[in-house]
Amino acid sequence: MRDPNIVQLLGANLTSDPLHVVYEFCQFGDLNQFLQEHIADSLLTFVFSYGCLLYMATQIASGMKYLESINFVHKDLAARNCLVYPGYSIKISNYGIVRSVFAADYADLGGKSALPIRWMAWESIVKGKFSSKSDAWSFAVTLWEILTFAREQPYEDFSDQRVVEHVSHFSRSTAKHIMLPQPINCPKEIFDLMCECWQKHDADRPNFREIHLFLQRKNLGYNPETN
């Protein structure tokens, strides 16, 4: 895979111990911890502008657009799996699950493999169905993380079991479902995008080409070197 917003795999040893893979070096770590480390003294004052946050989200959408174009489903899109490079460049990775600091983000449901249920679409949890449209659901949760500076876990007040029950109820109900509250200072049009990604029927969710185009238009004029 070769894309400006996808972490580059440099090599791998899968035939003898120790098994390992080598990725390109990341200067600033994952986006989740990067955001938390750059909150100013007051919770109402942040280091990054709204334009910068949207710039980072737009890059994630671009990387996911590439994965969608080659029919590759990520299955674990979250801020912890996005890496930060100079100039607020963002590249998507997929090794958050092996880092102990994020162990609480993965739930062990009945002996199944640990799953990032707080980021997963309802059909992925209930039916085990994954697609680019379930990735779109996860992208909206990731966007929510970015705009809240990753200060809390999605569904912070819910146990893992309650998250499953809530999503399972939504899968059987015709009621409108809003997964997470609108972040402070988040424009309505951006929150509307999140809600579109959380539509019950995956066919009603936007694809990443549409998501990227929308965010790109909202981010016109932003330059990380001058803003």
Residue 26 pLDDT more than 80?
yes
* Cis amide leading into 18 (omega within 30): yes
- Of 3.40.80.10, 1.10.510.10, 3.30.70.1140, 3.40.50.2000, which CATH number belongs to 9-215? 1.10.510.10
Higher pLDDT, 197 or 22: 197
State residue 46's pLDDT score: 55
Of 3, 30, 41, 76, catalytic: 76
pTM for the full predicted model: 0.91
How far apart, in Å, are the Cα atoms of 125 and each of 75, 77, 128, 138, 166? Answer: 11, 15, 6, 12, 11
Residue 112 pLDDT more than 70?
no
**Pick from 119, 142, 151: nearest CA to 33:** 151
Percent of the chain with pLDDT over 70: 91
State residue 37's pLDDT score: 87
Percent of the chain with pLDDT over 90: 66
Residue 110 pLDDT more than 80?
no
The verdict on whether 108 is a catalytic residue reads no
Q: Render pLDDT for 137-186 as a digit per residue (tens, 0 to 9).
A: 999 999 999 999 999 999 999 999 999 888 888 778 766 566 799 999 89
Q: Render pLDDT for 85-98 as a digit per residue (tens, 0 to 9).
A: 999 999 999 976 67
State residue 44's pLDDT score: 47
Question: Please, which pLDDT band fits residue 109 given cuts at 50, 70 and 90?
Answer: confident
State residue 31's pLDDT score: 96
Q: Is 52 exposed, middle or buried (0-12, 13-18, 19+ CB in 10 A)?
A: middle
How far apart, in Å, are the Cα atoms of 195 and each of 18, 123, 125, 181, 201? Answer: 44, 16, 18, 10, 12
Mean pLDDT along residues 18-31: 89
Mean pLDDT along residues 189-202: 96
For residue 22, the SS3 value is strand
Q: Look-up: residue for tokens 């029950």?
A: 165
Q: Render pLDDT for 33-71 as a digit per residue (tens, 0 to 9).
A: 999 988 754 444 456 889 999 999 999 999 999 999 999
Question: Please, which pLDDT band fits residue 105 given cuts at 50, 70 and 90?
Answer: very high
State residue 42's pLDDT score: 47
Q: Look-up: residue for tokens 């499953």?
A: 164
User: For all residues of the chain together, what is the average pLDDT?
Assistant: 89
